[in-house]
Amino acid sequence: MRWGLGFAVMASFFIGILPFHAGAEPLKTLSLENCYRMALKQSEEVAVRAELITETEGRFQQALSGLLPKITFSSIDKKQDGDGGSAFTRRNVPERKFTFSQPLFSGFKEFAAMRGSKSEKRLREQEKARAEQLLLVDVSDSFHLLLQQRREIGVLDAIRQTLRERIRELEDREKIGRSRASERVAVQAQLYRVEAEWEQAQTREQVSFQLLQFLTGLDVIAELADPGPELPALGPEEAYRAKGPSRPDVKGAEQSLEISRQELKVARSKFFPTAGLEGNYYVERSGAAQDVKWDASLNVDVPLFQGGGAVGANKEAESVVRQADLKLQQTRRVADQEIRDAYTEYGGALARLRALTKALEATEESYQMQVQEYRLNLVSNLEVLSTLQILQDARRDLTSALYDAHRLYWKLQATAGESIG
């Protein structure tokens, strides 16, 4: 659903300031989506988040290895002092063996570590998704800011043209004695002010270009796809707030809580006994045991007293769980508040845009009437200049309000956990 505001006035306003290339090849245009896709490839922050996902996969493999059997081969060549007269005094004592070990029970800490690693991977995925959404806000801000500055330059160009035409008219009237020289000088002074503002707008346009260039990695940004005067309608606030629990940072906080719970299980495993099976197969032995080819042992360790270390680790892990739970509650409340604020800002931007569209229409009509009345000597040149200044401000305010509304729309989308595509 699309929404238009005084479409005829807005369309004619933008047609008047958009560049026109007659008979030329159309310039390649970049949409906001194009710029965002390029920024995703360029962003180091997003790349770091992707590497963190790979890092958690490595930790999962390490946790899994604690449950799997281990096989090693040992080769020992021992030399000792002796006369070699018996098996106990031989000078060379070789030993070659395969060792098999299998953990049987360790308080379920490996299972908890594996579940924690899975939750950490999901956390990193959510952090990456949120980083991409925040990057969209940055790209949208720079994209629409650059458009705003370029369109403002167009507005100032139109104002300069109007003032030059006004000066020529006053020069003609001055020749026949219907205008004073002071009236022409006043318009020239205003023209100089507009030219100064034009130079300032050029500087802001260059800064905005460099910001978008930094985000996208593009060397040249010839033309941007202008979204125009239409903006998406604002739906019910409840529909946006309902998306808050699904926002990546909220989901990430849930995974952080789950990670802390699994770490608590790991801490509690220190109170449980551990059991493991170990076996050796001897390829070569010497001495009295040279005919023994294999042996096996069941090892059970029961913790009786650890100096309070296990108790302290358990208390620490319990505190981390409570902190993660509080952080989750805070993240949910912050997400809801941010959505409400962004909704209010976008709604206010739409209302401001409606009012400024009407103001521009009325000011353009007033200026045309003032020009006609001046030619009939019904108003002074000062009144015409005052109205022209109001018209200039109205055009610039409308340009600023339009692109502010576009920026706030994408901010609302990202705040609600949405993105492009």
Pick the most confident of 90-99, 303-312, 325-334, 383-392.
325-334
| Rounded Cα distance, 364 and 37, in Å | 40
Residue 65's pLDDT is what? 73
Question: What is the rounded average pLDDT for all residues in the chain?
Answer: 83
- Nearest residue to 68 (alpha-carbon basis) of 92, 103, 38: 103
Residues 344 and 252 sit within 8 Å (Cβ to Cβ): no
| Rounded Cα distance, 113 and 325, in Å | 19
Region 249-254: mean pLDDT is 94
Instruction: Look at the pTM and tell me if it is higher than 0.85.
Output: no
Domain 2-17+28-71+107-273+314-415 sits in CATH 2.60.40.1180: no
Which of 94-98, 299-303, 305-309, 350-354 bottoms out in mean pLDDT, i.e. has the lowest? Answer: 305-309
**Model pLDDT for residues 174-197, shown as the tens digit of each residue:** 888 777 888 888 888 888 988 898
Residue 237's pLDDT is what? 94
Residue 17's pLDDT is what? 43
Residue 356's pLDDT is what? 93
% of the chain exceeding 70 in pLDDT? 88
State whether the Cα torsion 295-301-307-312 is positive or negative.
positive
Look at residue 10 and tell me whether its pLDDT is greater than 70: no
Give the start-to-end residue ranges of the domains of the chain. Answer: 2-17+28-71+107-273+314-415
Region 310-339: mean pLDDT is 93
Given pLDDT bands bounded at 50, 70 and 90, which one contains residue 14? Answer: very low
Structure tokens at 9: 């006035």
State whether the Cα torsion 388-390-391-392 is positive or negative.
positive
| Residue type at position 192 | Y
Region 331-357: mean pLDDT is 95
Residue 165's pLDDT is what? 85
- Nearest residue to 296 (alpha-carbon basis) of 64, 69, 62, 67: 69
Residue 333's pLDDT is what? 96
Residues 398 and 364 sit within 8 Å (Cβ to Cβ): no
State whether the Cα torsion 63-66-72-78 is positive or negative.
positive
Look at residue 223 and tell me whether its pLDDT is greater than 70: yes
Residue 89's pLDDT is what? 61
Residues 265 and 109 sit within 8 Å (Cβ to Cβ): yes
% of the chain exceeding 90 in pLDDT? 26
Q: How far is CA 154 from CA 161, 205, 354, 405, in A?
A: 11, 12, 21, 19
Look at residue 23 and tell me whether its pLDDT is greater than 80: no
Residues 369 and 22 sit within 8 Å (Cβ to Cβ): no
- Nearest residue to 224 (alpha-carbon basis) of 140, 135, 143: 143
Top pLDDT among 193 and 382 is at: 193
**Model pLDDT for residues 100-150, shown as the tens digit of each residue:** 888 777 767 777 778 888 888 888 899 899 999 999 999 999 999 999 998
Region 366-383: mean pLDDT is 82
**Model pLDDT for residues 236-250, shown as the tens digit of each residue:** 999 999 999 999 999
Region 321-334: mean pLDDT is 95
Structure tokens at 386: 């005052």
Which of 23-37, 102-116, 259-273 bottoms out in mean pLDDT, i.e. has the lowest? Answer: 23-37
Region 152-167: mean pLDDT is 86
Given pLDDT bands bounded at 50, 70 and 90, which one contains residue 8? Answer: very low
Residue 421's pLDDT is what? 63
Given pLDDT bands bounded at 50, 70 and 90, which one contains residue 401? Answer: very high
Residue 168's pLDDT is what? 85
Residue 294's pLDDT is what? 86
Which of 71-75, 254-258, 388-392, 410-414 bottoms out in mean pLDDT, i.e. has the lowest? Answer: 388-392
Structure tokens at 244: 């808050």
Q: Which position has the token pair 């018209």?
A: 391
Beta bridge partners of 2: 232
Tell how strand 29-30 and strand 223-224 pair up.
parallel
